[in-house]
């Protein structure tokens, strides 16, 4: 795989389940710090679990981050990115199997996930997605982000899948980060 962007321009989505195991959360913290030290910008969503640990790792080394919230002060986060537009919700609806069954807050949560993958403009994709989901399955809100990434040919590395962990290590080596 050839990467046209230098590490100083890299962006990644650090996301995952609220039920991420403690050992994996610690790994996410290390990855967040590691990538921030190499100039990568974290995109995440302030949810408990994976999102929070990627962000804490990024913060531990004063890294650059874009935290997208479904509404102002979600989980106490002070990010200025808390407006979910109809365009973001339309994108989320395009990959969600039962959009019509979701409540307004749930729609905002899924819409916020679109920004994690495509940025505030919804036209600036991340380079990679790093996540953890139960059994390596695309479930919950993380599924929306994963499906959107796949739709945009963005590599997804799920830390619940051994071969994805190995591939992520190779990605780091390939762009001279390991």
Task: Report the CATH number at residue 89.
Answer: 3.40.50
What pLDDT does 2 receive? 37
Give dist(CA 112, CA 122) in Å, integer: 11
Name the band, by pLDDT with cuts 50, 70 and 90, for residue 9. Answer: low
pLDDT, one tens digit per residue, over 29-57 is 999 999 999 899 999 999 999 999 999 99
CB atoms within 10 A of CB 64: 12
| Any domain includes 47 | yes
Contact at 8 Å (CB) between 61 and 70?
no
- Asked if residue 15 belongs to a domain, the reply is no
Which residues lie across from 67 on neighbouring strands?
44
Q: How many domains does the chain have?
A: 1
The predicted pLDDT at position 22 comes to: 97
Structural domain span for residue 67: 21-174
Please give the model's pTM, rounded to 2 decimal places.
0.92
Question: Quick check: is 119 in a domain?
Answer: yes
Residue at 7 is within a domain: no
Q: DSSP secondary-structure letter at 105?
A: H
Question: Does residue 31 lie in a domain region?
Answer: yes
* Structural domain contains residue 16: no
- pLDDT tens column, 59-106: 999 999 999 999 999 999 999 999 999 999 999 999 999 999 999 999
Secondary structure (3-state) at 48: coil
Among residues 26, 13, 17, which one has the least CA distance to residue 134? 17
- pLDDT tens digits for 125-175? 999 999 999 999 998 889 999 999 999 999 999 999 999 999 999 988 887
Does the residue 5 lie in any domain? no
Show the beta-strand stretches assigned E in 4-117: 11-14, 41-44, 64-67
Query: Taken in order 160, 164, 168, 173, is the CA torsion positive or negative?
Result: positive
Which comes out higher in pLDDT, residue 140 or 119?
Answer: 119
Q: Is the pLDDT of residue 178 over 60?
A: no
Per DSSP, the three-state class of 157 is: strand
Judge whether 94 and 102 are in contact, CB under 8 Å: no
Residues 6 or more apart whose CB falls under 8 angstroms from that of 175 comprise: 3, 7, 10
């Amino acid at each position: 795989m050839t990467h046209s962007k230098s590490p100083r321009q890299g962006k990644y989505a650090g996301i995952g389940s609220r039920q991420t195991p403690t050992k994996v959360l610690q790994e996410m913290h290390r990855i967040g710090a590691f990538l921030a030290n190499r100039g990568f910008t974290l995109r995440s969503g302030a949810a408990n679990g994976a999102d929070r640990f990627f962000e804490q790792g990024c913060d531990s080394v004063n890294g650059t981050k874009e935290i997208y919230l479904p509404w102002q002060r979600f989980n106490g986060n002070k990010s200025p990115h808390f407006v979910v537009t109809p365009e973001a919700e339309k994108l989320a609806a395009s990959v969600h199997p039962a959009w019509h069954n979701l409540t307004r807050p749930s729609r905002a949560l899924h819409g916020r996930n679109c920004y994690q993958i495509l940025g505030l403009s919804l036209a600036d994709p991340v380079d990679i997605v790093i996540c953890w989901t139960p059994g390596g399955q695309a479930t919950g809100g993380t599924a929306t982000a994963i499906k959107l990434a796949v739709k945009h040919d963005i590599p997804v590395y799920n830390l619940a899948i051994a071969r994805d962990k190995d591939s992520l290590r190779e990605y780091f080596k390939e762009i001279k980060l390991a």
